[in-house]
């Protein structure tokens, strides 16, 4: 969706930090502006929106976010798939890209936003207790549920899509601000190609492949 080098949701934060840096420099001198200047650089870094080399294969499931795989487990998914499935959870540190990408090509058939608590995103209970936003994608090969989960610092999940939106594989669809987790649930017909501890890149790393 959004292809600018910095996502627009970061503009206000960048403007505020730039203003603070300038005010501190004028009021107290350049030396004292180092700290807000570093924070300004971090905010720009956090809201970066890099391009990715997206694999062109509709039988693949791509990582929906940058980060570290913290869990691969079997579940019964009763919101959208309504069948036995596999859930892959990816933890995003404050240094990872926080733009989320569609794991498959497909139409959004399901969408649900849930208010909640703000537990650390790496906790197993975070996906059930924290603020979260789920979308269900469907194409001719499979149905996939992907959920943005807010972390202890995050206070807003951003979505640029709605039910009926058609997404390409790896297409940007949302953002979680300042620390989070993204979960993707796939049917058992998908072979999982990642394991706990692996590092993945949103829209680029292949986390699953449809079994032949």
Q: Which residues are annotated as catalytic? A: 180
Residue 7 tokens read as 């996502």
Q: Which residue has the tokens 């795989």?
A: 69
For residues 132 and 112, give the distance between their C-alpha atoms in angstroms, rounded to a whole number.
8
CA distance 77 to 145: 9
Contact in structure between 133 and 95 (CB atoms under 8 Å): no
Estimate the share of the chain in helix, then strand, then coil, as percent rounded to the nearest 5. Answer: 20, 40, 40
Q: What whole-number distance in Å separates Cα of residue 186 and Cα of residue 84? A: 9
Q: Give the closest residue to 43 by CA, choosing from 174, 182, 178.
A: 178
Answer whether 198's CB lies under 8 Å from 70's CB: no
| The dihedral sign for the CA sequence 69, 74, 75, 80 | positive
């Amino acid at each position: 969706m959004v292809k600018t080098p910095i996502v627009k949701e970061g503009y206000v934060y960048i403007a505020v930090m730039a203003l603070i840096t300038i005010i501190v420099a004028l009021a107290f001198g350049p030396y004292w502006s180092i700290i807000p200047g570093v924070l300004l650089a971090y905010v720009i870094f956090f809201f970066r929106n890099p391009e990715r080399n997206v694999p062109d294969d509709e039988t693949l499931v791509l990582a929906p976010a940058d980060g570290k795989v913290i869990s691969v487990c079997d579940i019964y998914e009763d919101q959208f798939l309504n069948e036995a499935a596999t859930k892959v959870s990816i933890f995003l540190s404050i240094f990872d890209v926080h733009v989320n990408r569609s794991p498959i090509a497909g139409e959004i058939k399901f969408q649900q936003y849930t208010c909640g608590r703000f537990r650390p995103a790496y906790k197993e209970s975070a996906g059930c207790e924290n603020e979260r936003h789920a979308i269900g994608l469907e194409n001719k090969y499979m149905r996939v549920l992907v959920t943005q989960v807010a972390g202890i610092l995050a206070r807003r999940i951003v979505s640029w899509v709605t039910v009926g939106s058609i997404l390409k594989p790896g297409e940007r669809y949302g953002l979680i601000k300042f620390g989070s987790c993204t979960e993707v649930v796939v049917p058992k017909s998908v072979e999982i190609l990642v394991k706990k501890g692996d590092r993945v890149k949103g829209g680029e790393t292949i986390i699953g492949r449809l079994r032949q």
